[in-house]
Amino acid sequence: RRSNRQGIMAGLVVGGVMIFVWKFLVAPMGGMFNIYELLPAFLCALCAIVVVSLATPAPAKEIVEEFEGVGK
Q: How would DSSP label each residue in 7-63? A: HHHHHHHHHHHHHHHIIIIIGGG-GGG-S-THHHHHHHHHHHHHHHHHHSPPPPHHH
For residue 17, pLDDT over 90 is answered with yes
Distances in Å between the alpha carbon of 22 and those of 3, 11, 47? 26, 16, 16
Q: Which amino acid is at 4?
A: N
Report pLDDT digits (tens) over 42-69: 999 999 999 999 999 988 888 888 888 8
For residue 72, pLDDT over 80 is answered with no
